[in-house]
Amino acid sequence: MPRRITVDVAQVRSLVGEQFPEWAGLPVRPVAESGWDNRTFRLGEGMVARLPSAAEYALAVDKEQRWLPVLAPRLPLPVPVALAKGKPGAGYPFSWSVLRWLDGEPASADRIPDPVRFALDLSGFLVALRNVDAADGPQPGKHNWFRGATLRTFDPLVERALTELDGEVDVGSARELWKSALDVPWDGVDRWFHGDVAPGNLLLDGGRLTAVIDFGTCGVGDPSCDLAIAWTLLTADGREAFRERLSVGSPEWERGRGWALWKTLVACARTRGRADGEAVTARRALAKILAIR
């Protein structure tokens, strides 16, 4: 795992004051659900300072600065707008970003009154993203933890998780599903993907999807990585509507299920012996992935 660092309010105030004096008087406060890859702080009411928590995550800063302005006008929902790029300073070692703040609460099943409407809105967003010209887009690499590349990249992580979970979950079914996903070919046509379509990056207002955030793992390649949400959040009816709207055939659907499987197995292994919300959510997601095609 990357060596993550902490960032405090005083550091952010210093960084802003030194590099963007026009914003020096604005209040700074941490965001409650800051995420894993970045330390996030509200800057006034309309902006957010987003500081990578490790060197590996800092690789996404230039990419977001370059591509968010290209993607935003072509998408049907608001996405972050890069307002400025910060430099290392005040004891903080990486480049960082100031983005426009987007209101909303993270998606969760209990906050979505119309699961089919949500699934259609999300799939419509992904259709638009896939239709953006992929020429010169960022290929899979360290900047996005190889989203959009072959699932075989994650085979060692899956095998390690299966070994740790042996006797606690249906390892046989999980391994069979994983091997099947590895064997499904991709057509080789580059398409844009978000890379981390997860509840925390889907913002709701009144139960409707109103914004998509955190494009740190975006890129061009195999977009099946964006399908994992079908098994981890969507209902049965929502999943059907989602797949139909995206016009996803069986090969891509199986690869998407593989993406959902590896992330969930790793989460189950990481939370072994725990009974908190994260552990319960991971086990429930795994059961759904193994049961539903």
168 and 273, same domain (yes or no):
yes
Dist CA 44 CA 146 (whole Å)? 34
The band of 1, judged by pLDDT with boundaries at 50, 70 and 90, is low
Beta-carbon-side half-sphere exposure of residue 131 (alpha carbons within 13 Å) = 12
> What is the pTM (predicted TM-score) of this model?
0.96
122 and 256, same domain (yes or no):
yes
91 and 118, same domain (yes or no):
no
Full residue range of the structural domain in which residue 204 is found: 105-291
4 domain residue, yes or no: no
21 and 85, same domain (yes or no):
yes
Dist CA 211 CA 117 (whole Å)? 14
The H or E element containing residue 203 is: strand 202-205
Length of the chain equals 293
DSSP-derived letter for residue 137 is P
* 26-34 average pLDDT score: 90
Identify the CA nearest to 183 among candidates 96, 234, 251.
Answer: 251
Dist CA 126 CA 119 (whole Å)? 11
Angle in degrees, CA 134, 136, 141, rounded to 5:
90
DSSP-derived letter for residue 31 is -
The percentage of residues in the chain with a pLDDT greater than 90, rounded to a whole number, is 97
135 domain residue, yes or no: yes
17 and 149, same domain (yes or no):
no
The percentage of residues in the chain with a pLDDT greater than 70, rounded to a whole number, is 99
DSSP-assigned states of every residue in 102-114:
---EE--GGG-S-
Tens digit of each residue's pLDDT (9 = 90 or more) over 38-65? 999 999 999 999 999 999 999 999 999 9
Which pair of structure tokens corresponds to residue 115?
């699961």
The band of 232, judged by pLDDT with boundaries at 50, 70 and 90, is very high
Tens digit of each residue's pLDDT (9 = 90 or more) over 189-214? 999 999 999 999 999 999 999 999 99
Q: What is the CATH number of the domain that holds 60?
A: 3.30.200.20
The domain tally of the chain equals: 2
Identify the CA nearest to 17 among candidates 39, 63, 49.
Answer: 49
What's the distance, Cα to Cα, between the start and end of the chain in Å? 31
Tell whether the model's pLDDT for residue 293 goes beyond 90. no
Tens digit of each residue's pLDDT (9 = 90 or more) over 69-99? 999 999 999 999 999 999 999 999 999 999 9
The answer to whether 198 touches 35, Cβ cutoff 8 Å, is no
241 domain residue, yes or no: yes
**pLDDT number for residue 292:** 75
Identify the CA nearest to 179 among candidates 105, 106, 254, 260.
Answer: 254
Angle in degrees, CA 90, 96, 101, rounded to 5:
115
75 and 41, same domain (yes or no):
yes
Q: What is the CATH number of the domain that holds 173?
A: 3.90.1200.10
**pLDDT number for residue 73:** 97
The answer to whether 115 touches 106, Cβ cutoff 8 Å, is no
Identify the CA nearest to 229 among candidates 78, 128, 108, 134.
Answer: 108
70 domain residue, yes or no: yes
**pLDDT number for residue 145:** 94
